[in-house]
């Protein structure tokens, strides 16, 4: 749309869906050479691509570690990064718990938690924490686990290595005193959706993005403490605030360091016309139709001084 030729390099483990996407676009009759596909390990071809003199702009979605490497390599090349997140759901004492539970469960466990915008921790007011956990437990237990072919909600993770990573976070939390509400069952790759209560700041799952079906509950005495813990993270992609008092919700939203804050809703990509961005280690630049076209365009200004030129007839 911005008049550029594009080279698309899908993630190695997700290459099949990327290939299908390019095949579908090719079937629309795009001119040959306008859209190209390259597959392979980023560690092998990534540097070559981003350092090639024919590349004028880079847009990357993936891990913070890879994004930081790209930013070091792509000197003087415009760069948009959409990276990881540790998206908090802040639950106030006056929150509508039915709305809150519905959004937290779908936000945390859809796609098995393999979304940068998944709910990855809950910061709940002490006064309603017991009630919230009591409502979350049956909602999590109702999620089905298995093959996506059978329309299950929680499906196998992208790899055994990813499942091991999530399991290690669960094991670390339990060893340090977290309470297992439900889950922590594993058969090979698939992990049962796991809910952990009484998670504290010394536990890895409080800070590390799991990219899997585990949700830590952190109890806080005040909204100020919730904001402090939310902002202590190196990430700042999205956040949710659940409250019935709008002024309080907006105050919290203003205090949280995040690209987007949802009030009484789960974090998500949103409509394409919305700006989509992260701060801190969650990204650089802004996506969305309007912003993406701007970032993939090169502005140029021509100033005509009419007194010193001939105007044609």
Residues 231-237 have a mean pLDDT of: 98
Q: What is the pLDDT of residue 308?
A: 73
Residue 268 lies in a domain: no
Q: Please, which pLDDT band fits residue 313 given cuts at 50, 70 and 90?
A: low
Q: Confirm whether 217 is domain-assigned.
A: yes
Cα–Cα dist 50/133, whole Å: 46
Contact indicator for 287, 276 with CB cutoff of 8 Å:
yes
pLDDT at 104: 98
Tens of pLDDT, residue by residue over 18-41, are: 999 999 999 999 998 899 999 988
**Domain-embedded: residue 206:** yes
Shared domain for 197 and 221, answered yes or no, is yes
Stated pTM of the model: 0.93
Q: Give the pLDDT confidence score for residue 44 in this predicted structure.
A: 84
Proportion of the chain in helix, strand, coil states, percent, rounded to 5: 40, 20, 40
C-alpha span between 148 and 66 (Å, rounded)? 29
Return the percentage of the chain with pLDDT > 70, whole number: 99
Residue 177 and residue 47 in one domain: no
Tell whether 308 is covered by a domain: no
Domain range for 150 is: 88-263
Domain match, 125 and 221 both: yes
Locate 297 and state its tokens.
């365009």
In this prediction, residues 220-228 reach a mean pLDDT of 98
pLDDT at 13: 85
Residues recognised as catalytic: 82, 116
pLDDT for the residue numbered 47 = 85
Please check whether residues 174 and 254 belong to one and the same domain. yes
Sheet with strand 214-220: strands edge to edge: 179-182, 194-197, 214-220, 121-125, 88-91, 238-242, 260-263
Are 121 and 160 members of one domain?
yes
């Amino acid at each position: 749309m911005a008049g550029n030729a594009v080279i698309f390099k899908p993630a190695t483990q997700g290459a099949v869906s990327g290939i299908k996407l390019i095949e579908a676009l090719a079937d629309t009759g795009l001119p040959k050479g306008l859209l190209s596909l390259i597959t392979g390990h980023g560690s092998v071809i990534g540097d070559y691509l981003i350092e090639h003199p024919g590349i004028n702009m880079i847009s990357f979605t993936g891990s913070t570690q890879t994004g930081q490497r790209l930013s070091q390599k792509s000197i003087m090349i415009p760069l948009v990064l959409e990276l990881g997140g540790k998206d908090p759901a802040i639950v106030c004492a006056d929150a509508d718990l039915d709305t809150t539970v519905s959004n937290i469960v779908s936000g945390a466990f859809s796609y098995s938690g393999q979304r940068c915008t998944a709910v990855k921790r809950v910061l709940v007011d002490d006064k309603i924490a017991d009630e919230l956990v009591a409502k979350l437990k049956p909602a999590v237990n109702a999620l089905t686990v298995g093959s996506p072919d059978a329309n299950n909600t929680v499906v196998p993770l992208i790899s055994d290595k990813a499942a091991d990573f999530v399991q290690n976070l669960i094991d670390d939390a339990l060893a340090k005193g977290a309470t297992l509400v439900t889950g922590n069952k594993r058969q090979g790759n698939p992990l049962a959706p796991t809910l952990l209560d009484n998670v504290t700041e010394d536990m890895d799952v409080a800070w590390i993005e799991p990219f899997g079906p585990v949700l830590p509950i952190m109890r806080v005495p005040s909204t100020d403490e919730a904001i402090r813990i939310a902002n202590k993270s190196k990430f700042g992609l999205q956040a949710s605030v659940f409250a019935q008092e709008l002024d309080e919700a907006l105050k919290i939203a203003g205090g949280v360091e995040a690209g987007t804050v949802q009030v009484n809703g789960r974090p998500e990509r949103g409509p394409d016309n919305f700006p989509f961005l992260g701060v801190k280690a969650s990204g650089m630049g802004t996506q969305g139709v309007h912003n993406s076209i701007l970032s993939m365009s090169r502005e140029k200004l021509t100033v005509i001084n009419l007194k010193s030129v001939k105007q044609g007839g």
